[in-house]
Amino acid sequence: MVEAADKNIFGSMPTGQGIEDLATPPSLVTPGRFKGVRVLITGAAQGIGLAVAHRIAHESGSIFLVDRSEHVHAVADKFCEVTCGGVGSATADLETWEGAESMVAACHEALDGFDVAINVVGGTIWAKPFEHYAPAEIEAEVRRSLFTTLWSVRAQLPSLVDQGGGTIVNVSSVATRGVNRIPYAASKGGVNALTAALAKEAAPKNVRVVATAPGGTLAPERQIKRGPGPEGEQEKKWYQEIVDQTIESSEFKRYGTLEEQAAPIVFLASREAGYITGSVLPVAGGDQG
């Protein structure tokens, strides 16, 4: 996913969804679809995670929002005015096992557990050809975009098994075949493998494991930056190559919207998708990744 934080490259972008908009329903809503369902969402303070929470809150779900930013608590407070379900929030560093454990414990304390876990955290930090990545940068990318999901799923799974079932939705990326972000691509390839392999292992325990693979997505400027952003003409050129490839690989020749990303995630999380597991659904305007 590429977000509109990089407005100096993208030019004029829609401002997208801000905290003041959360009381307004999304343009597409299935009323009551998540009534009685508790949903844990990571990366929920902004971007796709916030759009997912927005949709589920307006479909009567109980939501537990997790992010590394303290902003997540203000978002949760706003959602208390929206949903007839419960609302809770926690900050956690999901690049660590301890952070993932604390997230699950906090969700149990707030909502007495969860039925669905949606793991959104991840994203490219740097954009450049692979030979220009320092070893420490490669490790940082893998921690951000693979270990956040790996640790989260490992922490979430026992709760779902113990209660007799549930659903895990991971957010991957079609950038597994993208340019200038090899460590991120490798990380998201790992998320795809995790999803497919765990689906086989978890199905006998009545746990579904699925994923979406977003393409480029328009989003407001981030509250917490992923990385330093491109500096200098060469780095801007490398990042522009990502933008160009993303648009060209879409049959619609455009970026997607937050609602277009949230809709398939929320469908896969719902009981309507009860016979789907192990699948990774590309959501990139025809780019299959």
| Strand-by-strand arrangement of the 38-42 sheet | 87-91, 62-67, 38-42, 116-119, 166-171, 207-214, 280-283
Strand partners, 166: 207
Q: What are phi and psi of 75, to 5 degrees?
A: -65, -45
Cβ within 8 Å of residue 32, ≥6 positions away:
59, 60
Q: Which of 133, 184, 239, 255 is catalytic?
A: 184
Closest CA to 167 of 60, 39, 49: 39
- Please give the sequence-ordered ranges of beta strands (E in DSSP) within 155-229, or none if there are none: 166-171, 207-214
Locate 175 and state its tokens.
């950038």
Is 255 among the catalytic positions? no
Contact 256, 285 (CB under 8 A): yes
**116 secondary structure, DSSP code:** E
| 102 sits in which H/E element | helix 97-111
Contact 242, 178 (CB under 8 A): yes
How far apart CA 96 and CA 92 sit, in angstroms, is: 9
Tell me the catalytic residues.
184
